[in-house]
Amino acid sequence: MVRTIEFNKTDSELFEGKIVLKFENKGDKPIEYSHIEEIPKSFAESVDDLVFSIPPDEIIDPDTKVRWNMWSGMKGIPVYYSLYFSIVERIDLEEQDPFWVVKMYYGILNYCVRECNKRSGTSRDYCLLLLAEEFKAAEPTYVCHEIENEDLKNLCLGRVTGDKKYCEKIKNEDLRKLCLGQEEEEEEEVTTTPSTAPTITIPPGVHHFGDQTFTDWEVQSSEGTEYTTTFSLATVPASADLTLNVFQTNYNNPVLVNGQGVGFLCIHTSESWVKCTISIPGSALQIGSNTLTIRAGRRGSNYDDFMIKP
């Protein structure tokens, strides 16, 4: 990751600042990763003073710490995130006409498509694939159909629409696994020892969190974007294991104990249940009542929809 910070003098003898974050996959395979950026106080006092070229997936601290969850494709294809701060004028999109915001959103998308089309071959295809992923909330399937490579086109359609039928058409095994959300199998046998940490479970019941309704889900309507329950401990162990089952988790969904972040729900993008274990450090636990909180992750204004059960 390369970070550059610039300050330019305006016509009004004031200054306008810009931070550009450049991420580049140095490996040979597509990867998913998360980046937390702490914005210097010299640049902005609060996220309210910033305009993001790509909105962060999570505002960890409005004063000023944000997170992006990213997906990077082919080696050597960079992704840029820009943060702008202007002393002259602060842009507040929420005060703008909503139709103006939509037009601006799609205007940016179409501009980026034109920029990708300036490339050729595989470079162009990966550029469009990354673009479709960044604008996933808009389901830009037309961007996917611009991709010439059939495997990459189906990967794009599978990730954008969530329809696994496209994933099954992919001939490349690694890309097919990525599309289906399957973890790579370990080539070497790994020997593990059973955990001695106490196990924490959630109360019985199936719960759906997020912001959508799915008629074919066990719990169709979302209960909100946050789940809270309590558990009790007679002593504080060195660590404990939270175990539960998750259904179709696509984003990083934070898990907190007594208000302290201890990790995220396991990523499992298929519409099926899978067991998830999260290690909780003893420093987050206390004797007596403890509060467990699970929050739906967010990309822009779109929350992840998922289900949990014991």
**pLDDT tens by residue, 205-228:** 999 999 999 999 999 999 999 999
Spell out the residues 6+ positions from residue 11 whose beta carbon is closer than 8 angstroms to its own: none
What span, in angstroms and rounded, lies between the C-alpha atoms of 262 and 251?
A: 16
Statement to judge: residues 203 and 305 lie in one domain:
yes
pLDDT at 62 over 50: yes
- Looking at residue 96, its pLDDT comes to 41
Statement to judge: residues 204 and 289 lie in one domain:
yes
Question: Which residues on adjacent β-strands are paired with residue 264?
Answer: 254
Q: What share of the chain is helix, strand, coil (3-state, %, to 5)?
A: 25, 35, 40
Q: How confident is the model at residue 77 (pLDDT cuts 50, 70, 90)?
A: very low
Structural domain range at position 13 = 2-91
What span, in angstroms and rounded, lies between the C-alpha atoms of 215 and 80?
A: 37
Instruction: Choose among 152, 184, 144: nearest CA to 169.
Output: 152
Spell out the residues 6+ positions from residue 18 whose beta carbon is closer than 8 angstroms to its own: 5, 6, 7, 8, 82, 83, 84, 85
The H or E element spanning position 79 is strand 78-86
Q: Which two tokens stand for residue 263?
A: 């990790």
Over residues 77-92, mean pLDDT: 38
pLDDT at 183 over 70: no
The residue among 66, 91, 116 that closes a domain is 91
Q: Is residue 187 part of a domain?
A: no
Identify the residue whose tokens are 């990730």. 159
Q: Is residue 104 part of a domain?
A: yes
Our CA angle for 309, 59, 55, nearest 5°, is 105
By mean pLDDT, which of 34-38, 111-115, 192-196, 286-290 is the weakest? 192-196
By mean pLDDT, which of 1-15, 44-58, 118-132, 287-301 is the weakest? 1-15
pLDDT at 302 over 70: yes
Q: Is residue 62 part of a domain?
A: yes
Over residues 69-80, mean pLDDT: 48
The residue among 35, 67, 91 that closes a domain is 91
Q: Is residue 235 part of a domain?
A: yes
> What is the domain count for the chain?
3
Statement to judge: residues 203 and 144 lie in one domain:
no
pLDDT at 241 over 90: yes
